[in-house]
C-alpha cells in the first residue's frame, strides 16, 4: 500500500483471523484464494474481493491463490482467463506460483464423488430437471424423496460410470448428495453435485462429459489447496451448510472454513455478469472494455487508477450488511489520487475563435506554465501563444449577468499563464450564433498580473490556433439515470442514460499533449481529469477519455 492510500480498517474477518492465529488454528497459517469463473470480465465488485483476499494474505504473511472455477465448459473461454489475470495484476497483486484451475482437480473430484456413493451418501437420479425442482419443495413445505433415492451403491456406481463414459444422454441423469429432503435449508435437500455436459472444455478438451457443480467443487478445491479462510459474498451464506457437509463427509487433506461478507452494491451501476453480457451483446455499450462499463477493463480504460480502486475498497470496508455505496465515493478516490500526481495541461473542448487584434500577426511566443501548481518538482513546460487563440464557448456570454466572471463584451479577463484581454467585438453567423470574438490584450500583463495592480476576477484557459493539436475527447457519464437501476424489479435497460457519452471530435489541445502515451493521465485545467485512450489512440489525432470531473457536478444537479 502506498502512503497515499487509506489504511485498511479493521473488520470482522480480520478479527476472526487474528483470533485463529492466537489459538494456533490451521497451524498458524493464513491461506486465502480468489476464485473467479472465467465466463466474463471482472467488474468493480470483484475488485473488492480481490483486494480483500490478497490483502488479508499480505497482512498476515500468508498466501493467496488465483483459482479459476472452470466447471461450466459451455460458458468459459481462455479470453476470460487472460483478462482476469491482467486485471488482478493491474490492481497490484501477484499470486506468484499459486495459479490453479478447478479442472486441475477433476480426477480427484471424481474420486471424491465415488467415495460419497460408496458411503451411501450420493445417488444417481434419473428425474428430469423440472421434476427435481418440483420434488425439492418450497421455503414453507418440505421436499419429497426421488423414486431413485434408494438405488443400491452398486447400481449408483455403475450408473455414474456410464455418465462419465458418455453412455447416458445429457439431462437424463445427475448425481445428487443424499442429505435431507426435509431440511429447512433448501440447499441441503439432496443437491445436485454432478451433471452431464457434452461440451468441449477449454483445458481438458473432451476428456470429461460430466462436470461437478460449484458447491461440490469449491469446498474440495479449498481443501486440496490448504485454504484456511474461504471468503465469499453473502449470497453463499445459505450454502455454507453444504460446504461443511461435503468436507465433513470426505477424507480431505485439510479443513477449510467459509466466511461471508456483503457484496458491493454501487449506485448508478449494475454488477450482474448476466446483465453486463446483455449490454455487450445488445450493443448498448461497445464491448466489455467500454469506459461506461463497471468492468475492471472498462474503468481502467476510462482512466481509473489501481491506487484509486484499492483506496475505494479500503474505504467502503467489509461488513455483513448489504448497503448501497454512493458512486461519488469511488469518483472521489480517483480525484484525490490524480490531484496529487496528474500533470496539468490546457485543452479546449468546444472551441470559440478569438483574434487578438493588437498582437503582431507574424509573431508568437512561449510562456512558462507549471506542470503542477502544488508540486514544483514536476517542473514547467512551454505553452505557445499567438494572435489567434481558441477559448471554450461557455467562457463567453454576450449579455452576461453581474456574477459571470468570464469573458463578455467590454469585459476584461485573464488568460491562464498569458495576458489580460478585453472583448471589443462579437462576430455572428446567419443563424445569430457567435463564431468569433475580436479582442485586445495588455502587453504589460504578461504572466497574468497587471503592474498597476488592477484585478480581474476571471481566469480562462485557451489554446493557440497555430500550435493546437486536434483531438477527439469523450465525455463519459453514468450509464444509468437512476441510482438503483433495478429498483422494484424493473429492467435496468429501461433507465439507461442516453447521454452517457458525448464525443467531441473538434477538441483542440496544447502541443505538449501530443507527446502523451496510452493511459497517461492529465488534469485538463478547469475541465476534469482525462486519460489517453488505450484502444483508439492515434498519434495523428489523439483520443482522450474524461475519467472524472473536477467536482461532483452530478450530485449537485440531482439533489
Q: Out of 14, 25, 37, 482, pick the active-site residue.
A: 37
DSSP string, 334-383: HHHHHHHHPPEE-EESSEEEEEETTS-TT-EEEEEEES-TT-GGG-EEEE
Residue 263 catalytic?
yes
| Cα torsion 453, 454, 459, 462: sign | negative
Q: Which helix (H) or strand (E) holds 324?
A: strand 324-325
CB 334 within 8 A of CB 305: yes
Q: Which triple of cell numbers denotes residue 176? A: 445428487
Give strand pairing partners of 114: none
Going by the DSSP 8-state scheme, the letter that residue 253 receives in this structure is: S
Place of cell 460446504: 243
Q: What distance in Å separates the CA atoms of residue 50 and residue 54, rounded to the nearest whole number?
A: 6
Cβ within 8 Å of residue 422, ≥6 positions away: 410, 411, 412, 413, 439, 440, 441, 442
Going by the DSSP 8-state scheme, the letter that residue 45 receives in this structure is: H
Place of cell 458411503: 119
Q: Out of 25, 108, 263, 406, pick the active-site residue.
A: 263
Q: How many CB atoms lie within 10 A of CB 516?
A: 22
Residue 273 catalytic?
yes
Place of cell 495576458: 419
Return the closest-CA partner of residue 453 out of 444, 461, 462.
444
CB 123 within 8 A of CB 175: yes
| Cα torsion 476, 481, 484, 490: sign | negative
Q: How many CB atoms lie within 10 A of CB 389?
A: 29
Q: Which triple of cell numbers denotes residue 375? A: 508540486
DSSP string, 204-249: TBTS-SEEE-HHHHHHHHHHHHT-SEEEEEGGGGGGHHHHHHHHHT
Which segments within 236-321 are labelled E, that is strand? 257-261, 265-266
State the alpha helices, DSSP H only, in 23-77: 44-59
Q: Out of 33, 176, 178, 273, pick the active-site residue.
A: 273
Q: Which triple of cell numbers denotes residue 124? A: 444417481
Active site residue ranges:
37, 263, 273
Amino acid at each position: 500500500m502506498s502512503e497515499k492510500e487509506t489504511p485498511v480498517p479493521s473488520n470482522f474477518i480480520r478479527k476472526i483471523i487474528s483470533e485463529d492465529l492466537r489459538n494456533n488454528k490451521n497451524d498458524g497459517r493464513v491461506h486465502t484464494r480468489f476464485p473467479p469463473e472465467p465466463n466474463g470480465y471482472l467488474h468493480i465488485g470483484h475488485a473488492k474481493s480481490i483486494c480483500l483476499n490478497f490483502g488479508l494474505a499480505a497482512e498476515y504473511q500468508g498466501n493467496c491463490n488465483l483459482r479459476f472455477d472452470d466447471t461450466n465448459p459451455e460458458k468459459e473461454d481462455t479470453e476470460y482467463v487472460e483478462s482476469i489475470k491482467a486485471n488482478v495484476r493491474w490492481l497490484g497483486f501477484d499470486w506468484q506460483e499459486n495459479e490453479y484451475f478447478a479442472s486441475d482437480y477433476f480426477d480427484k473430484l471424481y474420486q471424491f464423488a465415488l467415495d460419497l456413493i460408496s458411503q451411501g451418501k450420493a445417488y444417481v437420479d434419473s428425474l428430469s430437471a423440472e421434476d427435481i425442482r418440483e420434488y425439492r419443495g418450497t421455503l414453507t413445505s418440505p421436499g419429497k424423496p426421488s423414486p431413485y433415492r434408494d438405488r443400491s451403491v452398486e447400481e449408483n456406481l455403475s450408473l455414474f460410470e456410464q455418465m462419465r463414459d458418455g453412455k447416458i444422454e445429457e439431462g437424463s441423469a445427475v448425481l445428487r448428495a443424499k442429505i435431507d429432503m426435509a431440511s429447512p435449508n433448501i440447499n441441503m435437500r439432496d443437491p445436485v453435485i454432478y451433471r452431464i455436459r457434452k461440451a468441449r472444455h477449454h483445458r481438458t478438451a473432451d476428456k470429461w462429459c460430466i462436470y461437478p457443480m460449484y458447491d461440490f467443487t469449491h469446498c474440495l478445491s479449498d481443501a486440496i489447496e490448504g485454504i484456511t479462510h474461504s471468503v465469499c459474498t453473502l449470497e453463499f451464506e445459505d450454502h455454507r451448510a453444504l460446504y461443511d457437509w461435503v468436507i465433513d463427509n470426505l477424507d480431505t487433506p485439510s479443513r477449510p472454513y467459509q466466511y461471508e461478507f456483503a457484496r458491493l452494491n454501487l449506485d448508478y451501476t449494475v454488477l450482474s455478469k448476466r446483465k453486463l453480457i446483455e449490454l455487450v451483446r445488445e450493443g448498448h455499450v461497445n464491448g466489455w472494455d467500454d469506459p461506461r462499463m463497471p468492468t475492471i477493463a472498462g474503468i481502467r480504460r476510462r482512466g481509473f487508477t489501481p491506487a484509486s480502486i484499492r483506496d475505494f475498497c479500503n474505504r467502503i470496508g467489509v461488513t455483513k450488511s448489504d448497503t448501497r455505496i454512493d458512486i461519488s465515493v469511488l469518483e472521489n478516490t480517483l480525484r484525490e489520487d490524480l490531484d496529487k500526481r496528474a500533470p496539468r495541461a490546457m485543452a479546449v473542448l468546444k472551441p470559440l475563435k478569438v483574434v487578438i487584434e493588437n498582437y503582431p500577426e507574424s509573431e508568437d511566443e512561449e510562456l512558462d506554465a507549471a506542470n503542477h501548481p502544488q508540486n514544483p518538482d514536476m517542473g514547467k513546460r512551454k505553452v505557445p501563444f499567438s494572435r489567434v487563440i481558441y477559448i471554450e464557448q461557455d467562457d463567453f456570454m454576450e449579455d452576461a449577468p453581474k456574477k459571470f466572471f468570464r469573458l463578455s463584451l467590454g469585459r476584461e479577463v485573464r488568460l491562464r499563464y498569458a495576458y489580460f484581454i478585453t472583448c471589443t467585438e462579437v462576430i455572428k453567423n446567419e443563424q445569430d450564433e457567435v463564431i468569433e470574438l475580436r479582442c485586445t490584450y495588455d502587453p504589460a500583463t504578461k504572466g497574468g498580473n497587471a503592474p498597476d495592480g488592477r484585478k480581474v476576477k476571471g481566469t480562462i484557459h485557451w489554446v493557440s490556433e497555430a500550435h493546437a493539436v486536434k483531438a477527439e475527447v469523450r465525455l463519459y457519464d453514468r450509464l444509468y439515470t437512476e441510482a438503483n437501476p433495478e429498483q422494484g424489479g424493473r429492467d435496468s435497460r429501461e433507465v439507461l442514460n442516453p447521454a452517457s457519452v458525448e464525443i467531441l471530435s473538434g477538441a483542440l489541445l496544447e502541443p505538449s499533449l501530443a507527446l502523451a502515451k496510452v493511459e497517461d493521465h492529465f488534469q485538463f485545467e478547469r475541465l476534469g481529469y482525462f486519460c489517453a485512450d488505450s484502444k483508439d489512440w492515434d498519434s495523428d489525432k489523439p483520443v482522450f477519455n474524461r475519467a472524472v470531473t473536477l467536482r461532483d457536478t452530478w450530485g449537485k444537479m440531482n439533489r
